[in-house]
Structure 1
Amino acid sequence: MTETTRNVQPVIASVGKEGSGELVSSRYAVRIGDVDVVLISDGVLPLPTSTMSTNVSEADRNAWFDDRFLQRDMFDWALNVALVRSGDRLILVDSGVGDGFEYFSRAGRSVMRLETAGIDLGAITDIVITHMHMDHVGGLNVDGVKAKLRPDVRIHVAAAEVEFWKNPDFSQTVMPEAVPPALRKAAAKFVQLYSENIVQFDKTVEVAAGVTARVTGGHTPGHCVVDVASKGEKLTFVGDAIFEVGFEQPDWQNGFEHEPEIATQVRIALLDEAAETGSLLAAAHVAFPSVGHIARNGDVYRFVPVQWDY
């Protein structure tokens, strides 16, 4: 063993031990006018690559993954949530997957990372759920989390979403066999735990000054996005409306979309909106921190990540 190797190994091993105990950054902050937004990585979800493009040939799908030096069978979906501070309101957007799914053991970090960052869960005044899939409500279902939240915390969920999960339709989805039962269970548990806190809305709701949730449908019938706008600046957290393949291949359908045709229309509309306005976009399943601009290239789009601001 060389002297260099002996010196490097302890240094690398100790990086991140203080505080979070993590080797990589898991949160990224951006200011939109007077509103603070922090993207937080919940981890990654390993899923079959076929779920990223259910309406295209295997050859076309393989070409996309090969071009990015990614394996063809499994793909690590990023999973991000957001924390927004506007005035005296502290708003959590989605909560991650939680701890109830052993095949998603590399995610479920959101609550821990909030607490590591010094965020008291009891300081959260509002929660927006983009939709009730388990990787968005699961963090709230973890034992002990409800007790740490304010008793009067407001959880904003589209009325169409709440209604859908009373009897969810999976007929147009293409998911691994174990997933639909897990989705049903997580959604039911969420409603049971937080029925007194859920505030339903129809099309849009202003959660705080400059922070609005609006229903898009598509991914699920009540799927919503969150717009943060202040002093002429804007960022939209699009939830599951856009995935990694969706920029270059916006018409590729995702196996988790309950209304795939509508989801395609929603995706293109959101991409057009961001390209035309120059506003920022962030997403649940785009590589962390997922913040960037959208450029249009003919009939497709290009994601332009922000320059990492140290």
Structure 2
Amino acid sequence: MLSVDQAMRPDRAAANELVPSRYALKVGDLDVLVVSDGVLPLPTSTMATNADPADLADWLKHQFMPSDAYDWPLNVMVVRSGDKTILIDAGLGSQFSGFPRAGMFPKRLQDAGVPLEEVTDVIVTHMHMDHVGGLLVEGIKQRLRPDVRIHVSEDEVNFWVQPDFTQTVMPNPVPDVLRSTAKEFYAAYREQLHIFKDKYEVAPGVVTRQTGGHTPGHCVVDLTSNGERLMFAGDAMFPVGFEHPDWHNGFEHDPVKAAQVRKGLFRELSESGGLLVASHLPFPSVGRVGTVGGNFRYVPVIWDF
């Protein structure tokens, strides 16, 4: 049974890791655990496809990041609400070969004392391979409960019947792998899918709601309990987005709408003061959104040991 105290006590296997791969916190009465699925190297050109290359190079330089490729963080989250244990996204799995630093979530979840057999619900923010691939790893489905409910928006399921990549700018092999992964995911789990429109309360204080943009059915997950808030934003935002929310990410299927969604969520978070976790912010990605002179900024929390 997931608890903050349990997750903060490493077992022997996890203690061998030199870098922390999980972070536990409370949101009111909700127990929350952010788990790193690892990192995936990607070309920096995918970070801002509509930016002047010189501007992107300047941003990378000021962030002390390489000019050609960067490590794309992969974060998933587990929430305990009452008698429900909810997994939010499932990482990359083995959908892309040759990346040994990704696809770590099943082992790391086990090391944190959260057996897959205890997961009652899975929320899929969207059906990109780095969010559903972990569910396709050999042996994972057999460990999940037969009655597990996998929540995904109707628009997302419909989109992947015949996905449109005309506005994306991805490395050449990626679209075909995204198509095949989404198809495999739907075929493997169609009996467990709970398909919803707009928003759905998965458990008390845990609501998934559709934003669109990154994909047509992309969702964020809102946690609320005892006046405290946390948003798991999925792929609605990336590290460069705080300073440059209008820069398009190469994996966005509707980049114009994605930018609108991003700015709207930034405003929402800055006004509420709620916590933020996102799939591709540096682990554990727990922070808040502030504003300075009308510009957004990411404010990471100080780790609570």
The match for 1:301 is: 296
Matched, 1:107 2:102: yes
User: Out of 236, 239, 256, which is 1:241 matched to?
Assistant: 236
Q: Deviations over 1:180-216 (max 9, x none)?
A: 0000111111001100000000000000000000000
Letter in 1 for 2:159: F
Matched, 1:81 2:76: yes
Indicate the SS of the match to 1:122. helix
**Percentage of matched positions with identical amino acids:** 56
Indicate the SS of the match to 1:151. coil
The match for 2:266 is: 271
User: Out of 12, 37, 46, which is 1:18 matched to?
Assistant: 12
Gaps of 5+ in 2: 1-9
Q: How far apart in 1 are the matches of 2:128 and 2:138?
A: 18
User: Out of 213, 221, 228, which is 2:216 matched to?
Assistant: 221
| Alpha-carbon shift at residue 298 of structure 1 (Å) | 2.5
Aligned residues: 295
The match for 2:162 is: 167
Q: How far apart in 1 are the matches of 2:179 and 2:294?
A: 36
| Alpha-carbon shift at residue 70 of structure 1 (Å) | 1.0
Would the aligned equivalents of 1:274 and 1:293 in 2 still touch at CA under 8 Å? Answer: yes
Would the aligned equivalents of 2:11 and 2:111 in 1 still touch at CA under 8 Å? Answer: no
What is the TM-score of this pair, normalised by structure 1? 0.94
Q: How far apart in 2 are the matches of 1:166 and 1:55?
A: 28
Change (3 A) 1:275 1:116: same
Which of the pair has more CA radius of gyration? 1
Q: Deviations over 1:142-170 (max 9, x none)?
A: 01000000001000000000000000000
Gaps of 5+ in 1: 1-15
Indicate the SS of the match to 2:133. helix
**Equivalent residues in 2 for 1:71-150 (5 A)?**
71-150=66-145
Q: How far apart in 1 are the matches of 2:13 and 2:171?
A: 37
Would the aligned equivalents of 1:34 and 1:231 in 2 still touch at CA under 8 Å? Answer: yes
The ranges of structure 1 where at least 4 consecutive aligned residues each deviate by more than 3 angstroms after the TM superposition are: none
Q: How far apart in 2 are the matches of 1:297 and 1:102?
A: 42
| Alpha-carbon shift at residue 239 of structure 1 (Å) | 0.1
Would the aligned equivalents of 1:250 and 1:300 in 2 still touch at CA under 8 Å? Answer: no
